[in-house]
Amino acid sequence: MGKVSATCSFEQPFSTDTPLSPVIELVSVVKRFGAVQALESLSLAVKKGEIYGLLGPNGAGKSTTINLICGLLKPTSGSITVAGFDILKNAIRAKGSIGVVPQELALYTELNSRQNLKFFGRLYGLGGSFLEARINDLLAMVHLDGRDTAPVGTLSGGMQRRLNIAAALLHRPAVVLMDEPTVGLDPQNRANILDIVEAIAADGAAVLYSTHYMDEVEQICHRIGIIDHGKLLVEGSLDELRSQAGGKEILTLRGTFQTTSAAEAFELRQGESVVKCSAEEIVLNLIGAEGRLPSLLAAAARAGEVREVSMNRQTLESLFIQLTGRELRE
Ligand SMILES: Nc1ncnc2c1ncn2[C@@H]1O[C@H](COP(=O)(O)OP(=O)(O)O)[C@@H](O)[C@H]1O
Ligand SMILES: [Mg+2]
């Protein structure tokens, strides 16, 4: 791997020796909280200008990953480098290259937008006309110019989220970590934030974007990692993941079933699998199932009473369910 020497200086924002070297790199990262294994040997890399979507349900390990990268948590083992700096050996340089957008708002509600950004800018050691200009640029970027004098507490939820993002960008970080920044927002505000995330990456930052919304990763992420129980289950571009999901069908049977061994009852072929088998629902992952529908239904009838049948091509969402055994919204 090439050596990366990104800086967070203002003269050379986002600079790296080679544009394709990873700006965020995790190698075999393990994180335990006592008996809880939150991350199990997680490796991933994000390049300059790339939006990497970390997609996973609640408790998958998304926030733990982000908190480890920004130094809020210490890894149990493994290594993390940010802009070429090891987060343990060169913590100050590494942290200086990161902007974090936490899931919870971190703003002073009684101050206005401009005062908030000024406060955070000073924390980063910025000031004077440089900081003023940066604040103006950021307020425009997050569409808050003109609303900068109202106390933040009086702004809408969407506006507060956008300001929360601006606060992370004051020092032009090479790495932007965003932890579920759109949770609870209406579609228009979500779309607005997704546009901002794309602008941040287009400006050259490496963006790690955590979410449990499938449509968001489909819309903005260049690469996607599906995470659950602290493990990266699959990783690739949307096309790569889609082709992995493609050519397969999902057969869902609802009713009342006694079967405990659906694989045997349905005589599944190589590459096919039982996604779910409960007393109320059987979900099968099949290859070329159309012609076999009568025999599959006969097998289901032997296992119980079928009240509802549906067959769908596998999508990214069904791939997710197959990999994790869970719905995203759980
Ligand atoms: N400070 C902590 N102490 C103990 N367990 C934790 C702590 N933080 C997270 N966990 C556990 O680690 C796992 C991953 O959590 P988290 O990273 O918050 O998931 P996500 O952000 O994907 O919802 C969960 O099982 C969670 O309960
Ligand atoms: Mg979280």
pLDDT digits (tens, 9 = 90+) for 64-75: 999 999 999 999
Distance 112 CA to ligand 1 centre (A): 33
Confidence of residue 17 (pLDDT cuts 50, 70, 90): very low
**One domain, residues 275 and 220:** no
**One domain, residues 172 and 55:** yes
Confirm or reject: Cβ of 61 under 6 Å from ligand 1: yes
Confidence of residue 262 (pLDDT cuts 50, 70, 90): low
**One domain, residues 167 and 64:** yes
Q: Which ligand 1 atom sits closest to the C-alpha of 31? A: 12
**One domain, residues 259 and 190:** no
- The residue to mutate among 40, 64, 66, having the most atoms of ligand 1 within 8 angstroms of its beta carbon, is 64
Q: Classify residue 8: in a domain, yes or no.
A: no
Host domain of residue 255: 247-313
Q: Of the residues 242, 266, 295, which one is the last residue of a structural domain?
A: 242
Confirm or reject: Cβ of 33 under 6 Å from ligand 1: yes
Q: Classify residue 329: in a domain, yes or no.
A: no
Ligand 1 atom 11: residue of nearest CA: 38
Mean pLDDT of 180-202: 94
Ligand 1 atom 12: residue of nearest CA: 38
Query: Domain with 285 in it: what CATH number?
Result: 3.30.70.1150
Please, are residues 227 and 66 in contact by the beta-carbon 8 Å criterion? no
Confidence of residue 327 (pLDDT cuts 50, 70, 90): low
25-57 tens-digit pLDDT: 999 999 999 999 999 999 999 999 999 999 999
**One domain, residues 184 and 265:** no
| More reliable by pLDDT, 192 or 262 | 192
Q: Classify residue 130: in a domain, yes or no.
A: yes
Closest ligand by atom to 56 CA:
1
Report the domain count for the chain. 2
Distance 40 CA to ligand 1 centre (A): 12
140-162 tens-digit pLDDT: 999 998 888 999 999 999 999 99
Confirm or reject: Cβ of 91 under 6 Å from ligand 1: no
Residue 3 has pLDDT above 50, yes or no: no
Query: Domain with 122 in it: what CATH number?
Result: 3.40.50.300
Predicted TM-score (pTM) of the model is: 0.80
Please, are residues 206 and 47 in contact by the beta-carbon 8 Å criterion? yes
**One domain, residues 234 and 271:** no
Q: Highest-confidence range of 9-18, 266-275, 320-329, by mean pLDDT?
A: 266-275
22-31, 87-96, 215-224, 305-314: range with lowest mean pLDDT:
305-314
Mean pLDDT of 98-112: 94
Confirm or reject: Cβ of 57 under 6 Å from ligand 1: no
**One domain, residues 236 and 251:** no
Distance 282 CA to ligand 1 centre (A): 31
Give the whole-angstrom CA distance, residue 271 versus residue 290: 16
Ligand 1 atom 2: residue of nearest CA: 33
Mean pLDDT of 128-138: 96
**One domain, residues 142 and 212:** yes
Residue 261 has pLDDT above 80, yes or no: no
Closest ligand by atom to 32 CA:
1
Distance 264 CA to ligand 1 centre (A): 37
Q: In what order do the strands lie in the sheet with 85-86?
A: 36-47, 22-33, 77-82, 85-86
- Residue with tokens 């000073």, as numbered in its chain: 122
Confirm or reject: Cβ of 183 under 6 Å from ligand 1: no
**One domain, residues 106 and 184:** yes
pLDDT at 20: 63
Please, are residues 119 and 170 in contact by the beta-carbon 8 Å criterion? no
